Amino acid sequence: MESIKKHIVFWLFKLFGIHFSFSAIVHVGLRNVKDFYFVQIGANDGLALDPIYHAVLKNKWKGVLIEPQKEYFDKLKINYANHQEGLIFLNVAIAETNGKRKLYKVKKDCMKHPWDFGIAALTVDRGDISKFDSNDLEVEEVDAMTMSSLIHDYHIKKIDLLQIDVEGYDYEIIKQIDFYQFSPALIRYEHYHLKPEEQQDCENYLRAKGYNIYRELMDTVAYSKNFRSLM
């Protein structure tokens, strides 16, 4: 019965894409997959609008959770306090070079909506942070590393799911992936904060790497030929 459910989920996703949720893929299609490994870039506190938190706990996935803001990184570790086996927590930003970077954040007394909490970005010209005046922002100096360094330093051999939510920096991270070394079976990134031309460029880039693309309301899901073997 379990295999039948997963088979149905896969074909519904393949046929209907945008009309069929990523949540169903994560919570049904990828349930009980052995040796599943994920990398989440922009993990925030692990709870707020997080698409994979409950699946990680329930299925005991292994992987890396990355959050550059110290305040939310500490909350992230607390929210995973009883389920840290097989997980690596990194208080860094993923950027084009290793070293120190300025991370721009919204001051707490300038936050206007509940979803403003946790907003941070390496640049201020895109994403929700671009809607704020410069006087509403503060800077946190953070450690940064490249995707290549991440994979090398933490001996990552495969990525089944790459989950990205980084306020408009998503495409820059995707371009860092060495697809000749390995291809994540499933990539989900937030296209909402990409410029229209970047949205199209990113989709074309992934298609050229062998991915099929489906858009959700604010996120894009890309899956490779290896995705079916997971289910």
Query: How far is it between the farthest Cα atoms of the chain?
Result: 57
Model pLDDT, residue 116: 74
Domain 2-91+154-230 fold: Rossmann fold (3.40.50)
Which of helix, strand or coil describes residue 168? Answer: coil
Q: How far apart are CA 228 and CA 78, in angstroms?
A: 34
d(CA 103, CA 70): 11
pLDDT for 57: 92
Which of 165, 34, 159, 189 has its CA nearest to residue 88? 159
* Domain residue ranges of the chain, discontinuous segments joined by +: 2-91+154-230
- Chain centroid offset of residue 123 CA: 18
- Alpha-carbon gap, residue 67 to 136, rounded angstroms: 22
Amino acid 5: pLDDT: 45
Per-residue pLDDT of the chain (231 residues; tens, 9 = 90+): 445 444 444 555 554 444 457 777 776 767 777 889 999 999 999 998 899 999 999 889 999 999 999 999 999 999 999 888 999 999 999 999 999 999 999 998 888 877 777 789 999 988 888 889 999 999 999 999 999 999 999 999 999 999 999 999 999 999 999 998 889 999 999 999 999 999 999 999 999 999 999 888 899 999 888 777 666
Residue 16 pLDDT = 47
User: For residue 64, what are its two tokens?
Assistant: 């890396």
